[in-house]
């Protein structure tokens, strides 16, 4: 049997292999208990935020305010400032994807294989976000990267628009 330390090391190796084999970071263990990435640790606070995204499922895009509201509802005593910091950190750790909206707003979503290579239609008034897929956008990204000798990481399109309720 492995000791818990060996098990953690093994898991880090597996995660590293997974991230090498795919251009997207795969969350192999949903709560990645105590896993370090780039020297950053998944503290209980960070896990709580990550857990929230895992529970609502992929395809959901939450603002920092919405994350804060939901966490306060399930008893967590946490400030909005901490949520902002935590979200930024989870983005740096490759666990969340940050969507920049107009007027400096941000929304966050879980990075997973299911949601790889999708695009966003974003209402500039209420922030409603819908996902769509389009192979031509991916192809255009691939061609542009190749033409300029860049190594492709991802191609995604954010379309700013006004939703039916806000027109
Ligand atoms: Zn999305
Ligand atoms: Zn709207």
Ligand nearest to the CA of 57: 1
Report how far residue 3's alpha carbon sits from residue 66's, in angstroms, rounded to the nearest whole number: 39
Q: Which residues contact 32 (CB under 8 A, 6 or more apart)?
A: 11, 15, 42, 50
What confidence tens digit (pLDDT) does each residue in 57-111 have?
877 889 999 999 999 998 778 899 999 999 999 998 888 988 887 666 789 998 8
| Cα 162 to ligand 2 centre (Å) | 6
Angle at 16 between CA 12 and CA 22, to 5 degrees: 145
**d(CA 59, ligand 1 centre) in Å:** 5
Residue 1 — pLDDT band, cuts 50, 70, 90? very low
State the pLDDT at residue 108: 92
Condensed to tens digits (0 to 9), the pLDDT of residues 115-161 reads 667 899 988 888 888 999 999 999 999 999 999 999 988 788 889 89
Residue 18 scores a pLDDT above 60: no
d(CA 119, CA 154): 11
Which ligand has its closest atom nearest to the C-alpha of 163? 2
Nearest ligand for residue 60 CA = 1
- Domains by residue range for the chain, with CATH: 4-116 (1.10.10.10), 117-167 (3.30.1490.190)
Report CA(41)–ligand 2 centroid distance (Å): 37
Between 167 and 127, the higher pLDDT residue: 167
The environment of the single-atom ion ligand 1, i.e. residues with CB closer than 5 A, is 109, 131
What does the pLDDT average to over 19-28?
39
Spatial contact of 115 and 109, defined as CB atoms under 8 Å apart: yes
Helix axes 64-73, 80-92, angle to 10 degrees: 120
Q: What angle do CA 95, 43, 48 make, to 5 degrees?
A: 65
């Amino acid at each position: 049997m492995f000791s818990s330390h060996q098990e953690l090391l093994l898991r880090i190796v597996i995660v590293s292999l997974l991230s090498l084999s795919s251009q997207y970071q795969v969350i192999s263990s949903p709560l990645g208990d105590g896993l370090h990435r780039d020297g950053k640790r998944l503290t209980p606070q960070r896990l709580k935020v990550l857990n929230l995204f895992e529970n609502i499922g992929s395809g959901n895009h939450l603002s920092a305010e919405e994350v804060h509201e939901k966490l306060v509802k399930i008893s967590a005593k946490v400030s909005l400032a901490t949520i902002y910091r935590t979200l930024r950190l989870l983005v740096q750790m490759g666990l969340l994807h940050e969507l920049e909206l107009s007027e400096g707003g941000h929304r966050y979503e879980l990075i997973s294989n299911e949601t790889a290579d999708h695009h966003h239609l974003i209402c500039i008034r209420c922030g409603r976000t819908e996902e769509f897929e389009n192979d031509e956008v991916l192809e255009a990204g691939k061609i542009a990267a190749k033409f300029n000798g860049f190594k492709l990481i991802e191609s995604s399109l954010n379309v700013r628009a006004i939703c039916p309720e806000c027109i």
